[in-house]
Amino acid sequence: MTLKSGDYVARLSYAKDIVFRVTQIYRDENGEAAAVLKGVAVRLIADAPLTDLERLSEEEARNNGPEGEGEARLLAALARRSGEGLFRGGRTFDYPGLVLHLDGDGEYLKKCAAAYEKLGIPHVGLAVPEKDQPEAVGYYLARYRPEILVLTGHDSLIRDAKDRRDLDLYRASFHFAEAVRRARQYQPDRDGLVIFAGACQSCYEELIRAGANFASSPERVFIHIFDPVLVIERIAFTSIKEVLPAEEAVKASVTGAAGIGGVETRGCFRRGYPKIAEKVLRF
């Protein structure tokens, strides 16, 4: 089988559970052909021998695994808001709060930005490597003054790790936790700045302890690209008069409680008056 960069594939040894795109073909230490793979809908980078891969058509890629579920959840969020009467006419205007999204993966960031746009959530998205997020977060918080902060990218837990709270056993959890702590130096109030932090298999307990409102991953599972967006959508469109139970926010995600957890948090949605012709944004 001949594979090339950009092909959709699945791993036979994992029962084709996740759809990937090939990003690189190379020879491993034994001289065997192998590929670097990037999850289409799951925040995962992996390596696999070509003999373990099955090429998928675009239609098969769309219908296999959780790819379509993320889009379905976005559509459900739009339908729910229509039922709640948000974005009504008249002389009032709606402001769901500004999201600042720092992502270690620029390709995933573009997909999240498109989702925010579809959902009508004001956002600023910046591709910032996980290791650089602690240094960058204070500057960007001061520059954009968001109501909501997302810190994500790639993470992983060393296989067969015995102590899941040891940050040395994770690829990026230490960086996410430190970025959360620095964000809390800027704004200590969890309702004054709502924070989602983490990626696949992140150290959930440490991220919550550092000050995140929502984090991944309680069961150290892989999370969907849109999980942060779907959780934030619930916060962005819950009134500041209300406190959103953590269960409601988590249920909005694709991965659910195995991949996302958090604490009850006050909503960020505000209605203003009077309405003007232009969108009311602060950036």
Cβ-count burial of 58 within 10 angstroms (0-12 exposed, 13-18 middle, 19+ buried)? exposed
Residue 68 clears pLDDT 80, i.e. is over it: no
**Assigned token pair, 197:** 């932090």
Q: What is the mean pLDDT of the chain?
A: 90
pLDDT of the residue at 61 = 78
* Confidence grade of residue 283 (pLDDT, cut at 50, 70, 90): very low
How far apart, in whole angstroms, are the C-alpha atoms of residue 233 and residue 227? 10
How far apart, in whole angstroms, are the C-alpha atoms of residue 138 and residue 21? 34
How far apart, in whole angstroms, are the C-alpha atoms of residue 10 and residue 19? 5
Tell me the range of 16-30, 41-55, 204-218 where mean pLDDT is highest: 204-218
Cβ-count burial of 5 within 10 angstroms (0-12 exposed, 13-18 middle, 19+ buried)? exposed
Residue 33 clears pLDDT 50, i.e. is over it: yes
pLDDT of the residue at 63 = 67
When mean pLDDT is compared across 22-36, 80-94, 112-126, 256-270, the lowest value belongs to 80-94
How far apart, in whole angstroms, are the C-alpha atoms of residue 172 and residue 258? 19
Q: Provide the whole-model pTM.
A: 0.89
**Based on C-alpha coordinates, what's the Rg of the chain?**
20
Q: Where are the alpha helices (DSSP H) in 5-105?
A: 58-63, 67-84
Mean pLDDT value across residues 47-60: 89
* Confidence grade of residue 251 (pLDDT, cut at 50, 70, 90): very high
**Assigned token pair, 33:** 């052909």
How far apart, in whole angstroms, are the C-alpha atoms of residue 133 and residue 137? 6
Cβ-count burial of 257 within 10 angstroms (0-12 exposed, 13-18 middle, 19+ buried)? middle
pLDDT of the residue at 66 = 57
Residue 87 clears pLDDT 70, i.e. is over it: no
Mean pLDDT value across residues 244-255: 96
Residue 64 clears pLDDT 70, i.e. is over it: no
